[in-house]
Amino acid sequence: MQIETIETHAYNDQNPGTSGLRKKVKVFEQPGYLENFVQAIFDSLEDFSGKTLVLGGDGRYFNRVAIQIIIKIAAANGFGELIIGQGGLLSTPAASHIIRKYQAFGGLILSASHNPGGPNEDFGIKYNVGNGGPAPEKYTDAFFQRSQVIDSYKTAIIEDVDLDNLGSQQIDGLKVTIIDPVTDYAALMQSIFDFNLLKQSISSGYITLMFDAMSAITGPYAKRILVDMLGAAPDSVINAEPLEDFGGHHPDPNLAHAHELAERMFSAGAPTFGAASDGDGDRNMITGSNIFVTPSDSLAIMAANAHLIPAYAKGLSGVARSMPTSQAVDRVAACYNIPCYETPTGWKFFGNLLDAGKITLCGEESFGTGSDHVREKDGLWAVLFWLNLIAVKRMPVADIVHEHWQKFGRDIYCRHDYEAVETPVANAIVDCLRQQITTLPGQSFGEYVVKYADEFCYEDPIDGSISKNQGIRIGFENGSRIVFRLSGTGTVGATLRIYIERFEADATRHNQDAQVALAELIELAEQFCEVKKRTGRVAPDVTT
């Protein structure tokens, strides 16, 4: 195999965020930009010569081009085998499963998750380690440091690989295997859930459903599993073909962006169950007839009912949530006397807990839930979990939610996103909040007395690593919280996320509208951070 070393120059903006390196496509198309980052990853890894690398993405614009570039660099750097999803496609949870099943050294996943796609939109790349999970911070820090001094990359002089025909081919010392992206994942789902019960419930008409794939990666997975294997009507899966620009839509599964699904689920004659997933298939939105289930509630309900699912019938070893996620799952853990861990945002923080057997279920308020079956959040898994739950309990979604609130109380919760805030303005907001940390405790704001104010810092209980500056928390004596955090998933400016929650034990008050119930706390949040005043905006871009 002929290998060429190409001189390059370093780019100073290749610091991976929460979920890898995300930039506009035009940035990735710069000479050597993608090549540099991939080479920086390989330069930072050890002992992978002759080993297997998994490769695939969500099918967004630039996916195929990027895969061909990566194949050549991986070959030149000495990988022995590449396992690639047909057409260059792999959902993020499927990629995690394939890394684990075939004991690969690691994998590269090409996605910008829920961000828009197209020639003028976003692209992303992240490295997953051998356990199938996102690279921990010690890896991503090393990738960035290497990217700052890189001066060359290696590439193999070979023809482009046919990504569309299944099977293996040998290219000198490199074996390239093209696999069906769905088959292994579908078999995994069948091993977790009661497919016979689901088929019976769907065929009898007890469960009717609508799944919005948002013209993204989960379309083929949902078609295979929900329609072909479980017998749902073909039109149950909408926007099922993965498109390079996601049909011009924003592939973020929330009520604002999955509007076609939302309109149907909040109309007369709505199906029993509705759901959506995002660009790369790791997020989920759960709805029932005329009800939206917040991701925080969804995690708590899953934890409370996991024993009804075949794979979790023996019980849970523990649960974990990201810090901004509501405390609803904490109440379940306390009731069942199992550990509950609070981690920073980012799935990589759950990996050590899962590997050590400390937890079985985990989740984030940003529409992500998962379990020990893979090391990523998993949108379609969550959908099947809820369908299995409905089939076992013989209850509609709304009744399942209200039953949960009756037993555990309701953590009334919302998230306000202010997107594409100019970076200096966003940083000034955070600095302002930091200055208030020492003065807020003890102050009273109507019925809300500040109990604590801090900036979340996490010490990993498994490896002792410390992650600082993970969001600012303001907690009140009555258990309410306001959390402020800058998201690392955008590509323009910064997204300020404000998380607001209040616990309500009184069942007669459980049906309050969240925005109304949280109105005083929402006003307090503005008083503390002044985002509207500083940006001139009158409302958040997205409310969930």
**Residues with catalytic roles:** 113
Long-range contact set of residues 97-103: C-beta below 8 Å, sequence gap at least 24: 97/132, 97/184, 97/185, 97/188, 97/373, 97/374, 98/54, 98/179, 98/184, 98/185, 99/54, 99/128, 99/130, 99/131, 99/132, 100/131, 100/132, 100/374, 100/375, 101/184, 102/52, 102/54, 103/52, 103/130
Closest CA to 348 of 117, 93, 133: 133
- The answer to whether the CB of 326 falls within 8 A of the CB of 296 is yes
Phi, psi (rounded to 5 degrees) for 159: -70, 155
Cα 279 from Cα 55, distance rounded (Å): 16
List, in order, residues 6 or more apart from 14 with CB less than 8 Å away. Answer: 21, 36, 37, 40, 143, 144, 147, 148
Distance CA 395, CA 201 (A): 12
Q: How many CA atoms lie within 13 A of 529 on its CB side?
A: 28
Q: How far is CA 27 from the centre of its chain?
A: 23
Cα–Cα dist 469/344, whole Å: 9
Largest CA distance in the chain: 73
Centre a 10 Å sphere on the Cβ of residue 406 and count the other Cβ atoms it contains: 11
φ, ψ for residue 408 (rounded to 5)?
Answer: -110, -10
Position of tokens 């279920």? 361
Q: Alpha carbon 488 to chain centroid distance?
A: 12
Rg (CA), the chain: 23
Tell me whether strands 152-156 and 3-7 are parallel, antiparallel or unpaired: antiparallel
Helix residue ranges per DSSP H, 107-194: 137-147, 183-192
| 163-to-65, 340, 477 alpha-carbon distances in Å | 11, 43, 58
Rounded Cα distance, 258 and 221, in Å? 18
Determine contact, residues 67/58, Cβ cutoff 8 Å.
no
CB-based contact 529:429 (threshold 8 Å): yes
How far is Cα 191 from Cα 114, in angstroms, rounded to an integer? 28
